[in-house]
A and B are shown apart, each in its own frame.
Chain A
């Protein structure tokens, strides 16, 4: 048992280390996006916990808040995949064009969220 946990620990340490090593290679722009993704995930998680504690009463507010964070996360992921230089799926796509699409979607998302929140 002890051994497997140790194994696990060392494994995790290896993974984290190599992940760290690899991740530092990603461009800064991508890192910025990642930061925002983490932020969005965190707010979503916090809201979910809050809902569990307080109850579902203003359910529409919860939904809009939660989905706002999740939506932001999803859009960021999309954007990240589009501008990621390491992938070749979106070769011809300008980052600016991708960002414009992103803004469009973001506006739509916030519009819907605002509509549903109150």
Chain B
């Protein structure tokens, strides 16, 4: 039994390979197309077909009957209170639930529509009008006061950040978000410095802000169980040509940087959101008796078995063997009876061997592998474990020889008795 999520993932991944994918970009301000042209041209050079539409365009159409007209969605419409055409909050969520990727960018004035949409995806944006502020380590600039921030709090995942290797600080000006601590799907891709907090600019702080102390999330990623990836960023400016090309800046604490990392960061995170990276594929899930090939329906208790599967990772449009030492398999019946690390052979084949526990029942091989930035693997395969057959127990034990002897001697006595009894007159 392979979970449906997994199948969706494969299909989503396969469509990546196909010819140019259509990306719908919704804008509330047509100027963004020129002020953020570098971001879009980077996308185009990656081979995407970009369609710019105004968020309020009456002819907007995301779905034609049962068919999605675009594979990806980018929304630069923080202030849109309503979408045109057939798009509404429900359509957007449906789009995500169907396994399609989206990048949603807001600024410090997100509309209620944007806030509730993002909240339904699992990211809680700060209220309209708040700005992330840092009085200690802000970026010195003429116009932005203390709200332009350079953050280096990146998620520790090469799968998400990809070729963004120099980890230059990211310039950010906008609203912060938070993720529920119980969320298993959301991940903070870019955090805020310890000293930053979220607040209404120009107003006195009379109680401790909730989103502060490094808990603020600037760019968040969500991997829905439908396979969709959504990136939510709190700053429109972050993607702008101006920040992309900034020649150098200095922070209040005196650190000088020759450039911002925004261009590479935004591009790579978008690549991640669009399933170009961090996609895992499992094939060839297989288990058998040790040293055998065919996959049995059941095992006997204390049998030796071997378990293996192939995991591949999507890199640059091709599937490459996945290499990791932290993949585990569990052999579960109500509780995990066996938990084993899987070894891999650099060809993407992961395998292990273990002994079936001495408890019969219906077991599952469970692989539950959640690594930040990678598609979570949640696979289960049922197999029965049976007790010994009646003739599989050990027989003719040494300890039992006296009993056997007695039985034989009694039988001998029985025959002897017969002779004596019948012929003795």
Contact = CB atoms under 8 A, between A and B. Distances in A.
- The answer to whether A and B touch directly, with their CB atoms under 8 angstroms apart, is yes
A20 B413 CA distance: 25
A1 interface: no
Of B403, B417, B420, the most chain A CB neighbours within 10 A belong to: B403
Contacts of A39: 413
Contacts of B414: 72, 106, 110
A97 B406 CA distance: 28
B206 interface: no
A99 B422 CA distance: 9
A23 interface: no
Contact of A65 (B402, B418, B421): B402
Given A58-B400, A62-B403, A68 B424 contact: no
Interface stretch (A2-10, A11-19, A40-48, A86-94): A40-48
Interface in A49-101: 50, 54, 57-58, 61-62, 64-66, 68-69, 72, 76, 99
Given A28-B424, A36-B413, A46 B406 contact: yes
Contacts of B396: 118
B337 interface: no
B410 to A, nearest CB: 5
B404 interface: yes
Contact of B404 (A46, A57, A117): A117
Contacts of A99: 418, 421-422
Given A32-B417, A99-B422, A69 B399 contact: no
Interface string B393-425: 001110110111011011101100110111010
Interface in B319-345: none
Given A28-B424, A117-B404, A54 B399 contact: yes
- If over half of A's interface residues share one DSSP class (helix, strand or loop), that class is named, otherwise mixed; here it is helix
A103 interface: yes
Interface string A102-118: 01001000100110011
Nearest to A113: B407
B403 A58 contact: yes
Contacts of B402: 46-47, 50, 65
A65 B403 contact: yes
Contacts of A114: 407
Contacts of B411: 110
Contacts of B397: 57-58, 61
B406 A69 contact: yes
B417 A65 contact: no
A97 to B, nearest CB: 13
A58 B394 CA distance: 10
A64 B410 contact: no
A115 to B, nearest CB: 11
A43 B409 contact: yes
Contacts of B422: 99
A76 B420 CA distance: 14
Contacts of A65: 400, 402-404, 406-407
Contacts of A40: 410, 413
Given A40-B413, A72-B414, A32 B403 contact: no
A65 B397 CA distance: 14
A72 B416 CA distance: 13
A82 B23 CA distance: 103
A68 B407 contact: yes
A31 to B, nearest CB: 10
A92 B340 CA distance: 77
A113 B409 CA distance: 13
Contact of A43 (B406, B417, B418, B420): B406
Nearest to B395: A118
Nearest to B401: A61
A9 B130 CA distance: 111
Nearest to A65: B403
A58 B417 CA distance: 29
Interface in B361-411: 395-397, 399-400, 402-404, 406-407, 409-411
Interface of A: 28-29, 32-33, 36, 39-40, 43, 46-47, 50, 54, 57-58, 61-62, 64-66, 68-69, 72, 76, 99, 103, 106, 110, 113-114, 117-118
Interface of B: 395-397, 399-400, 402-404, 406-407, 409-411, 413-414, 417-418, 420-422, 424
Q: Which 3 A-B pairs have the closest CB atoms?
A: A65-B403, A61-B400, A58-B400
Given A32-B421, A110-B411, A113-B407, 10 more contacts: A33-B417, A47-B403, A57-B399, A61-B397, A62-B400, A62-B403, A65-B407, A72-B410, A114-B407, A117-B403
18 contacts: A32-B420, A36-B417, A40-B413, A43-B406, A43-B410, A50-B402, A57-B399, A58-B399, A61-B404, A64-B403, A65-B400, A65-B407, A69-B410, A72-B414, A99-B422, A110-B407, A117-B403, A118-B395
